[in-house]
């Protein structure tokens, strides 16, 4: 199974809607003919309608979170169905900053993923260990809990919701982002990343079946830059990258895309 590479820029809590709109349209213009990988930007909620409304390109527009109920008394949340109504492509789920600062759990993550898939949207499910967990030999155990607890809570199974209409671009993507590498400048080595991706793929095979494990794109994230991205992309189990800091300028994002 040939998996199409995927580059997603995570703009976190940066840019006003007008800055986001300007930068996104620059990206669209610069990369209009770029077809070798799938591209997307995850922007703050308030910017999303500005990006989706005029977007005629194949570049995806992601939210950075999504609630599982369609509506209700959930102050501060935005639902997957609301994202569908503005034609967003999907949402990131359980980014480590949400896990560490906002109480995201594997259970809530699974429910968010399920709600997005139900709306025919994409979900980029983020997992990864802390330095303490890695140093004490708990990498595989932590990844197992993150995947299996989310799959159980979201009642996820191999289905058309999970895969979508194009097996080369399944709706569920996994992002492996070691917490110690995010925004620290200390990227995982190629071997550390590839080894972790092999573990993730085998856990996905156990949880969702080997057919899906062969299709699912597993992105690496954590201090990816134009200078190191090609090294990751040459590895057999790394299918793309989720990039924060280095994706913030249109030039940076275009450089990353061209180095995939
Ligand atoms: P970084 O962030 O590229 O700035 O390390 C990655 C992420 O948080 O997704």
Tell me what pLDDT residue 1 has: 66
Mark residue 188 as left, alpha or beta (left: phi above 0; alpha: psi -120 to 50; beta: remaining): beta
Question: 175-205: buried (b, 16+ CB within 10 Å) or exposed (e) per residue?
Answer: bbbbbbbbeeeebbeeebbbbbbebbbbbbe
Pocket flag, ligand 1, residue 64 (CB < 6 Å): no
Q: How far is CA 112 from CA 32, 151, 166, 173, 188, in A?
A: 31, 11, 22, 13, 28
Q: Measured at the alpha carbon of residue 241, what is the angle toward residues 235 and 243, in degrees to the nearest 5?
A: 145
Q: pTM of the prediction?
A: 0.97
Catalytic residue among 97, 104, 129, 177: 177
Pocket flag, ligand 1, residue 243 (CB < 6 Å): yes
Pocket flag, ligand 1, residue 242 (CB < 6 Å): yes
Whole-number Å distance between alpha carbons of 197 and 219: 8
Pocket flag, ligand 1, residue 183 (CB < 6 Å): yes
177 is catalytic: yes
Pocket flag, ligand 1, residue 48 (CB < 6 Å): no
* Tally of helices (H runs) and strands (E runs) in the chain: 12, 8
Q: What separation in Å is there between the alpha carbon of 83 and the centre of ligand 1?
A: 23
Report the nearest-CA residue for atom 1 of ligand 1. Answer: 244
Report the nearest-CA residue for atom 2 of ligand 1. Answer: 244
Pocket flag, ligand 1, residue 223 (CB < 6 Å): yes
Q: What separation in Å is there between the alpha carbon of 247 and the centre of ligand 1?
A: 9
Tell me what pLDDT residue 184 has: 87
Tell me what pLDDT residue 176 has: 98
Whole-number Å distance between alpha carbons of 126 and 229: 19
Q: How far is CA 239 from CA 115, 193, 201, 217, in A?
A: 24, 11, 11, 5
Neighbours of 144 (CB within 10 A): 18
Catalytic residue among 95, 97, 104, 197: 95
Tell me 230's DSSP state.
Answer: H
48-101 pLDDT per residue, tens: 999 999 899 999 999 999 999 999 999 999 999 999 999 999 999 999 999 999
95 is catalytic: yes
Q: Which residue has the tokens 């910017």?
A: 47
Whole-number Å distance between alpha carbons of 220 and 215: 16
Q: Are 194 and 150 in contact (CB under 8 A)?
A: no
Q: pLDDT under 50 in the chain at which residues?
A: none
Tell me what pLDDT residue 32 has: 85
Q: Measured at the alpha carbon of residue 255, what is the angle toward residues 34 and 234, in degrees to the nearest 5?
A: 80
Question: 22-53: buried (b, 16+ CB within 10 Å) or exposed (e) per residue?
Answer: ebbbebbeebeebeebbbbbbbbbebbbbbbe
Tell me what pLDDT residue 167 has: 85
Q: Measured at the alpha carbon of residue 56, what is the angle toward residues 55 and 61, in degrees to the nearest 5?
A: 40
Q: Ligand 1 atom closest to Cα of 243?
A: 3
Q: Are 70 and 112 in contact (CB under 8 A)?
A: no
Pocket flag, ligand 1, residue 92 (CB < 6 Å): no
Q: Measured at the alpha carbon of residue 133, what is the angle toward residues 131 and 135, in degrees to the nearest 5?
A: 65
Q: Ligand 1 atom closest to Cα of 246?
A: 3
Tell me what pLDDT residue 2 has: 85
Q: Are 28 and 18 in contact (CB under 8 A)?
A: no
């Amino acid at each position: 199974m040939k998996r199409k590479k995927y580059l997603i820029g995570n703009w976190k809590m940066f840019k006003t809607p007008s800055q986001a709109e300007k930068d996104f349209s620059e990206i669209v213009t610069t990369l209009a003919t770029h077809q070798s990988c799938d591209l997307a930007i995850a922007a703050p909620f308030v910017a999303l309608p500005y990006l989706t409304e005029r977007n005629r390109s194949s570049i995806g527009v992601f939210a950075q979170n999504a609630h599982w109920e369609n509506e209700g008394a959930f102050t501060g949340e935005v639902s997957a169905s609301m994202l569908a109504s503005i034609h967003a492509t999907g949402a990131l789920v359980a980014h480590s900053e949400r896990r560490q600062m906002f109480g995201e759990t594997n259970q809530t993550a699974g429910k968010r993923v399920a709600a997005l898939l139900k709306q025919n949207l994409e979900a980029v499910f983020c997992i990864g260990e802390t330095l303490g967990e890695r140093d004490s030999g708990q990498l595989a155990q932590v990844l197992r809990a993150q995947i299996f607890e989310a799959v159980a809570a979201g009642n996820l199974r191999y289905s058309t919701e999970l895969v979508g209409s194009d097996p080369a671009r399944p709706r569920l993507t996994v992002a492996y982002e070691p917490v110690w590498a995010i925004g620290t400048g200390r990227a995982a080595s190629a071997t550390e990343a590839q080894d972790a991706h092999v573990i993730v793929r085998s856990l996905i095979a156990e949880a969702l079946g080997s057919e899906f494990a062969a299709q699912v794109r597993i992105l690496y994230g954590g201090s990816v830059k134009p200078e190191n991205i090609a090294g990751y992309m040459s590895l057999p189990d790394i299918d793309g990258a989720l990039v924060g800091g280095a994706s913030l300028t249109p030039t940076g994002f275009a450089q990353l895309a061209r180095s995939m």
